[in-house]
A and B are shown apart, each in its own frame.
Chain A
Amino acid sequence: MNFSWMAWTLPTALFFLAILLLLVGMGVWEYVSPGGNPRIGILRFETTRGDRLFVSLLGSAFIHLAWLGLIGPNVWWATALSLVYAIGVFKFV
């Protein structure tokens, strides 16, 4: 099967691989500790682990977009900021 029309590149393949690994990791976490660990954090509504991952990923996407729009095309600092943000979400949300 020819997938050249999908125009794969190494960075985008790594990006999707990272997303896949995150999902697999969440699946393993759920298997080890079932129930999703629901809790009410600083946003004052109940979130599970999956919700917190979603908030982390969506927030990270917007951090990158804000960085690209306001600062420039080099996004390494935006990625670092997103990691800090994701840790914050998993800890406090």
Chain B
Amino acid sequence: MEKTLNNKAWFMVLPVLVLVAFSAVIPLMTVVNYSVQDTFGNNAFFWAGTDWFVQVLRSDRFWDALTRNLIFSAIILTIEIPLGVLIALNMPKKGLGVPVCLVLMSLPLLIPWNVVGTIWQVFGRVDIGLLGYVLAGLGIQYNYVNNVFDAWATLIVMDVWHWTSLVVLLAYAGLVSIPDAYYQAAKIDGASRWAVFRYIQLPKMKRVLLIAFLLRFMDSFMIYTEPFVITGGGPGNSTTFLSIDLVKTAIGQFDLGPAAALSLIYFLIILLLSWIFYTVMTTSDAQN
């Protein structure tokens, strides 16, 4: 059968192109323009060339924040992906339990990010917060305001609480789409629980897990609101991620040139890492 070619379909894409142009391309172009100039306001700009890039790339502040970002994302992915899959595997597949579990899982995702930060900020306080109060009662010295380990632990637990649900919902969607025939065949072959997971469930979930992995990587790498609300980047600079550093530079110091250069470097790093993850995972998928 011959394919029907209809180039009028391109016009259907036009609204999206216009929307993307206004929401992404034009702001990105502006950031590129700002990154090679300096300004003191009033729309007056002075050519600076590549100086801001050199300044950012040679600053310890940038490399320290980038290292924190990479460590944070690695910890988040290591916890959230396996935990999300584990919860999805143990969720009911039939009956009243399904909608109950789905609603419960969706709840953290419905809470705005700044509210999540505020909840955990209060929750962790030793004087009025339940978590801080209970830990103090157990004799554990916990204070996320002046202890680096406690600040990191609070941010990680908060992120796991907030976002594991997303992985669960995606993994669950992958699991329920597996036809029963696969499980029946596995049963006839006497496959173990592990074998069913390894050779049926995991391959069938691979595509949704790829999406979950990319979404969680990009989100955790761009995290801003929650650490800003909970720790404000402290104690010291111990939870100052690239996004917080960027806002401090752009709004706190009004250094729009260096902030634009930092934004572009940040954008390129996310683009590179996302492309690597996507390519590696889709290539292994194609080979299988």
Contact = CB atoms under 8 A, between A and B. Distances in A.
Which range holds the interface residue count of chain A? 20 to 34
B275 A58 contact: yes
B275 A5 contact: no
Given A65-B265, A68-B50, A73-B50, A58 B36 contact: no
Contacts of A75: 50
A69 B45 CA distance: 24
Interface of A: 4-9, 11-12, 15-16, 44-46, 54, 58, 61-62, 65, 68-69, 72-73, 75
Contacts of A8: 33
Interface in B36-78: 36-37, 39, 43, 45, 47, 49-51, 53-54, 57-58
B13 interface: no
A40 to B, nearest CB: 10
Contact of A65 (B39, B47, B51, B53): B53
Contacts of A7: 30, 33-34, 37, 39, 43, 45
Contacts of A9: 33, 36-37, 45, 47
B114 interface: no
Given A7-B34, A58-B271, A69 B58 contact: yes
- Shortest Cβ-Cβ A-B pairs, 8 listed: A69-B57, A45-B283, A7-B33, A73-B50, A68-B53, A7-B45, A6-B30, A12-B33
A12 B32 contact: yes
Interface residues of B, number: 27
Nearest to B27: A6
A7 B265 CA distance: 19
A72 B286 contact: no
B268 A58 contact: yes
A5 B37 CA distance: 13
Contact of B49 (A45, A62, A73): A73
A5 B33 CA distance: 10
B268 A65 contact: yes
A73 B43 CA distance: 25
B279 A45 contact: yes
A65 B266 CA distance: 12
B29 interface: yes
B54 A73 contact: yes
A75 B54 CA distance: 11
Contacts of B272: 58, 62
A65 B268 CA distance: 10
B39 A73 contact: no
7 contacts: A6-B26, A9-B33, A15-B32, A62-B272, A68-B50, A68-B54, A73-B51
Contacts of B268: 58, 61-62, 65
Contacts of A44: 283
A87 B275 CA distance: 20
Given A58-B271, A58-B272, A5 B30 contact: yes
A58 B26 CA distance: 19
